[in-house]
Structure 1
Amino acid sequence: MKILIILPNWLGDAVMATPAIELLSTYYSSARFTFVGSFVSIEALKYHPKCELAIVDETKRSSNRIKATYELAKKLGTFEMAISFRNQIHSSLLLKLTGTVLCIAKKSWHSMFLLSHTPTIKADKHLSRQYAQLAMINTDAWDKNTPPLKLYIEPKKFDRSTMGINAGATYGSAKRWYPERFAEVAREFSNKYDIIIFGGPNEAEMADEIESYLASSGVTNYTNLAGKTNIKELCSLIGGCSLFVTNDSGPMHVAAAYGVPTVSIFGPTKHTETSQWMNEKSKIVRHDMECAPCMRRECPLGHHECMKSITADEVIKAVKELEI
């Protein structure tokens, strides 16, 4: 059964969609997937054993996106089922233009107009559950259980216990805790773990700050990999970590997919929707505040208290509780 899946754009969202993909894979035993998505989502999910084709959607770069979407649809051809995990008009249009009869996307004005199945999915549950509900909307056989996250990239095997530190968060500065506090946490555990500093190309400056703090504290057993890994390497390295300390971010969900014991620091985002899904060894450090969660890229009040008020000692305590 040929199934077209339009993946979410962000790395973390794509990983949170993997339980839905596993449900589709299980329910439709003959499933053969075609994935269309952003570069990062494709690079993370293209290793699924039932993925026959993985295409990076570059229609946004075209001077005429509608024409580019039409051309991509004709290239893809018709499927027995098509589903979009993106709530975006061009994604709905892409599904429609493939000529596929059974097309599924979350209810919106454009999906209702273009597609056959457009259920209302309430945002009152974890995003992985929302994606699973969407994927299973055409069957009565689903028992409502949502499986764990799943990536098919082999985790790295380190010679020594390793702690990963991820100070970045692509969505915006409001989600980022402070480099000097990450460094304080890393220093506290550097006698037990080698330290890896993670981050994307645009987060190298923060990673360099952490490195500077560690070096000035006499810590030497660290590696700064910010901006130096591709998506496959990033997933593999995180998957091999013994512990992971991170902001709410894509790498946080990668760690969850491998069951890595993780301390996640939340400020402006909804932990009920985007915390680690089904990671038994996961702890959240956050403070209840009247202004949070604001879901903004930058602090609209200018004080960033949701993150500023979280101390290194709180995070260190959470890590120690995971070690018990």
Structure 2
Amino acid sequence: MKLLIELPTWLGDTVMTTSALENLFTNFKDAEITIIGSYVSTEAIKAHPRISRVYVDNTKQKGIRLVNVYKLAKEIGPHEIALSFRSHFYSKLLLYFTGSKKRFVYSGNFKGHQVEKYQAFINTITGRYEQPNDLKLYHSIKKYDKPTLGINPGATYGSAKRWYPEKFAEVAVELSDKFDIIIFGGPAEVNIANDIENMIRKNGITNLTNLAGKTSISELCSAIAGLDLFITGDSGPMHIAAAYKVPTVAVFGPTKHKETSQWKNPKGLIVRKDLECSPCMKRTCPIKTHECMKEISAKDVLESVQKIFS
């Protein structure tokens, strides 16, 4: 049989589907599997040995999207089962236009952690009512010569999720005698990563590498997988670290930590402030104070690091 899967748009959401995908693939052992999604989502998942075909959805970029979706669907063709982890109107159209007989679209009406929600969706397809296990990625694990700390200051969703560059730098300087340091980030985070690099180097620190904007998704996964410690905001790379059980301190502000925290990482800790206004789930601070992030100090994060290694 042929199975078509549309992945979430965002990297972190895609990584959080991986437990559900493992259960799905186990239930359909002989299926020929096709995935479709954004560039980042397909790059994260396509290393899975069960995946036969990969399509990147560029239907928003040129021309009339409805026409583009129709053409893409006809190129993909019919599958016995087609499912989407997105609830978007165009996702429904895409599955419909493929001519697939059985179509399932994520509704968002499930409760719990996002990983549990994705598993509940897959349970409606398999009828097995399984529980989610560990997250699973299939990229190789980079080997470092010395203990290595990764810091990830970016957050694609919006500025409200970002901790401050000077605080990341303060933490990195404090830990530089124990770890080599790598700064991660996507193309949109090159400037903030450069700022952090400059702040660190002003303290005479030289065991530092800035990889912001310089890695593919596969290289990013491999580099994070081999870390001894990761300090990050609520972001896609945070979930990559969870999949490889990298010791992690995650700084949370306006987002729902009970729904998007690291899944099943025994060495993962959250640093957050329990304010009346949080979690607001806004891209930018609606009251212009950003207290949920401002109140988190470098000392708070360093104390969490100490807890992980105590």
Q: TM-score range by the shorter chain?
A: over 0.9
Q: Out of 257, 267, 282, which is 2:268 matched to?
A: 282
Aligned equivalents of 1:93 and 1:208: distance in 2?
42
AA partner of residue 296 (structure 2): I
Q: Does 1:132 align with 2:140?
A: no
Structure 1 stretches (4+) deviating beyond 2 angstroms? 138-142
Tell me by how many angstroms 1:63 deviates: 1.6
| Aligned mates of 1:221, 1:43 — CA distance in 2 | 30
Q: Write the mapping of 1:22-33 to structure 2, written as runs, cut at 5 A.
A: 22-33=22-33
Q: Which residue of 1 aligns with 2:179?
A: 193
Q: 2:218 matched to which residue of 1?
A: 232
TM alignment of 1:233-312, pairs within 5 A: 233-312=219-298
**Aligned counterparts, 1:31-70, within 5 A:** 31-70=31-70
Q: Per-residue deviation at 1:213?
A: 1.4
Name the SS of the counterpart of 1:137 in structure 2. Answer: helix
Are residues 1:4 and 2:28 paired?
Answer: no
Q: Please give the alpha-carbon distance, in whole angstroms, between the structure 1 residues aligned to 2:256 and 2:292.
A: 12
Secondary structure in structure 1 of the residue aligned to 2:100: coil
Alignment-mate amino acid for residue 139 of structure 1: T
- Give the deviation of 1:303 after TM superposition: 0.5
Cα displacement (A) at 1:40: 0.5
Matches of 1:304 and 1:206 in 2, distance apart?
Answer: 18
Give TM-score, length-normalised by structure 1: 0.94
1: CA distance, partners of 2:127 / 2:69: 32
SS at match of 2:126: coil
TM-score between both structures, scaled by the size of structure 2: 0.98
The answer to whether the 8 Å contact 1:243/1:261 transfers is yes
Unaligned ranges ≥5, structure 1: 108-119
Q: Are the aligned partners of 2:36 and 2:42 in contact in 1 as well (CA < 8 Å)?
A: yes
Structure 1 residue 100: deviation in Å?
A: 1.1
User: Contact 1:83–1:135 (CA<8 Å) still a contact in 2?
Assistant: no
Alpha-carbon RMSD:
1.1
Worse-matched range after superposition: 211-220 or 283-292? 211-220
Deviations 1:89-111 (A, max 9, x none): 1111111111111111134xxxx
Q: Which residue of 1 aligns with 2:109?
A: 121
The answer to whether 1:320 aligns with 2:310 is no
Contact 2:24 2:126 in 1 (8 A): no
Cα distance in 2, alignment partners of residues 187 and 318 from structure 1 = 16
- Provide the rounded CA distance (Å) in 1 between the counterparts of 2:208 and 2:18: 31
Query: 2:113, 2:196 → 1: CA distance?
Result: 32
Residue number in structure 1 paired with 2:189: 203
Residues 33-182 of structure 1: pairs in structure 2 closer than 5 A: 33-107=33-107, 121-122=109-110, 124-142=111-129, 144-182=130-168
Deviation for aligned residue 1:31: 2.4
SS in 2 for 1:299: coil
Point out where structure 2 has 5 or more consecutive residues left out of the alignment. Answer: none
Deviation track 1:125-172 (CA, whole Å, cap 9, x = no partner) reads 111111111112133323x31011111100101111100000110111
CA displacement at 1:121 relative to structure 2: 2.7
Q: Which residue type is aligned with residue 105 of structure 1?
A: V
